[in-house]
Structure 1
Amino acid sequence: MTNVVEVRHAAAGYDGREILSDVSLSVAAGDVVAVLGANGSGKSTLIRTVLGLVPLRRGEIELFGTAQRRFRSWERIGYVPQRLGAGSGVPATVGEVVASGRLARRGIFRFPGAADKTAVREALADVGLLDRIGDPVATLSGGQQQRTLIARALAGRPDLLVLDEPTAGVDAASQEAFAAALTRFAADGGTIMLVLHELGPLRPLIGRGVVVHDGRIAHEGTPPEPAGHHAEPGHDHVHPHADEVKAGICEWAPTEGSKAY
């Protein structure tokens, strides 16, 4: 069976600086993979490279069995960046932002049809924001704006959902809404690849954790459960050495802003 994402010996970076080195990763249909790592480890660079947003220097990437450079079926992928940035004066409603997630599927020269409107309403209902469909997105809280981004991705009815730290700095209610929406997406056979600073309410959903350390994959497997003092509220876990990660002894319960997985 063809993998949804296949990365082979990839190297990538910005402005002449190599951030990822010799990274290989496979994501099969139906997988839920969390990319974990300290700040600056290269975890966000990894998913942005998969999406073609960071140039590949060496190696190969395939999406749904097609070489990334030839891949054109972008409607099959929904991307949720870290922040919406819509609170900076963009005069758009919540419904308009979510409707933009339909463009890749219907094309920019076609007017929205009944299927598009239904998809928008269903996506907003899925993240608990249907009642805000006509509100300016700038009036939403940070967590609600992030939920709007997830709804925008879901409205496109993708096969693969890629999220970059969707729970960072947002309220507990929004984190619970993310977890519920993503659980339903996965239950319907969707594939999820997401960068996380902490697992939080998403922990039961995660099937595999991939730890990035210094631009390389240091560990791949089931994310360890926090234990002992690591599980105490507010524990600020210090990033371990890569060989400790490989040994499978890293257990964490990070707080926002900590250098943690």
Structure 2
Amino acid sequence: MSVVEVRHLAAGYDGREILRDVDLSVASGDVVAVLGANGSGKSTLIRTILGLVPVRRGEIDLFGTAQRRFRQWSRIGYVPQRIGAGSGVPATVGEVVASGRLARRGLFRPPGAADRAAVNEALAAVGLLDRIGDPVGTLSGGQQQRTLIARALAGKPDLLVLDEPTAGVDAASQEAFAGALTEFAANGGTIMLVLHELGPLRPLIGRAVVVHDGRIAHEGVPPEPAGHHAEPGHDHVHPHADEAKAGICEWAPTEGTKAY
């Protein structure tokens, strides 16, 4: 079954067109990495699919329904980039993860046994069940990112969308991400990830889509990283930063890749 279908998509904001004539298909059970240099449009592609950036031209279908008519948002779990789990609000780890159940149970229905079980299961998947009662502000940056992934998992989505989940976090958290996502995929889940580089997630990735200058420049086997990212000593961890300033993996078309 098709989970995401993108046809001849053009999108952008602030009067600027960022994506141009993009076609993409994601089937049920696919694990797709969206790669590209900063400013290439990879995050804009994900945000447009989720309805966060307006479509200028083209069409998007989600689970066989036109995006403009799609209402089953509980089927999609989204982990945005560069947002701390605390966000200045005093809450426990368990409370943050429990908020991921709201779309499924409704705002006014109190949590039940199934909700509590889903929260515990999600926290166990990312290795934070022992921190369920701790204030989220006491966690490290990597642990906060793991909390956000647990929040998405708690909603029991069919499609999990993550925007640079490993950027700027420690190696232990990256390994925890890999384990949780591997389990989600093994249970039939569909995953789309925006990444600078694959790191410990490489064995999980079934297909890579490289965005270059607002277009799909490569689709298929993940290409090898270029430049200093290919060096053995490269640590695969980047600080969060503006796209124009951050360290980047220059994923771009190379000889032998499929270009459009």
Q: State TM-score, norm by structure 1.
A: 0.89
Question: 1:233 maps to what in 2?
Answer: 233
Identity level (%): 83
1:228, distance to aligned residue in structure 2 (A): 10
Question: 1:248 maps to what in 2?
Answer: 257
Number of residue pairs matched? 246
In structure 2, relative to structure 1, the CA distance for the partners of 1:238 and 1:86 (3 Å cut) is closer
In structure 2, relative to structure 1, the CA distance for the partners of 1:231 and 1:95 (3 Å cut) is same
In structure 2, relative to structure 1, the CA distance for the partners of 1:100 and 1:210 (3 Å cut) is same
CA distance in 1, matches of 2:85, 2:193: 21
| Residue pairs, 1:1-261, within 5 angstroms | 2-225=1-224, 230-234=230-234, 239=250, 242=253, 244=254, 247-248=256-257
1:241, distance to aligned residue in structure 2 (A): 5.5
User: 5+ unaligned residues in a row in structure 2: which ranges?
Assistant: 236-246
Q: Specify the SS of the correspondent of 2:2.
A: coil
Contact 2:93–2:131, Cα closer than 8 Å, also in 1 = yes
Contact 1:165–1:196, Cα closer than 8 Å, also in 2 = yes
Contact 1:84–1:145, Cα closer than 8 Å, also in 2 = no
CA distance in 2, matches of 1:87, 1:101: 14
CA distance in 1, matches of 2:14, 2:108: 36
In structure 2, relative to structure 1, the CA distance for the partners of 1:71 and 1:228 (3 Å cut) is closer
Q: Aligned letter for 2:15?
A: G
1:90, distance to aligned residue in structure 2 (A): 1.2
Contact 2:163–2:193, Cα closer than 8 Å, also in 1 = yes
Q: Aligned letter for 2:250?
A: H
Question: Which digits, 9 at most, give the CA deviation of each residue in 1:99-118, with x for residues without a partner?
Answer: 00000000001000000000
- The runs of at least 4 consecutive aligned structure 1 residues that moved more than 2 Å come to 83-89, 224-232, 234-242, 246-249
CA distance in 2, matches of 1:187, 1:164: 21
CA distance in 1, matches of 2:116, 2:251: 48
Q: State TM-score, norm by structure 2.
A: 0.90
CA distance in 2, matches of 1:56, 1:226: 31
1:232, distance to aligned residue in structure 2 (A): 2.6
CA distance in 2, matches of 1:69, 1:192: 22
Contact 1:93–1:134, Cα closer than 8 Å, also in 2 = yes
User: 5+ unaligned residues in a row in structure 1: which ranges?
Assistant: 250-261
CA distance in 2, matches of 1:157, 1:164: 18
CA distance in 2, matches of 1:88, 1:26: 34
Q: Specify the SS of the correspondent of 1:4.
A: strand
CA distance in 1, matches of 2:48, 2:147: 24
In structure 2, relative to structure 1, the CA distance for the partners of 1:232 and 1:139 (3 Å cut) is same
CA distance in 2, matches of 1:75, 1:240: 32
Q: Aligned letter for 2:205?
A: I
Q: Aligned letter for 1:155?
A: A
Q: Specify the SS of the correspondent of 2:17.
A: strand
Question: Which digits, 9 at most, give the CA deviation of each residue in 1:126-151, with x for residues without a partner?
Answer: 00000110111111100000000000
In structure 2, relative to structure 1, the CA distance for the partners of 1:70 and 1:80 (3 Å cut) is same
In structure 2, relative to structure 1, the CA distance for the partners of 1:86 and 1:151 (3 Å cut) is closer
1:85, distance to aligned residue in structure 2 (A): 2.5
Contact 2:10–2:57, Cα closer than 8 Å, also in 1 = yes
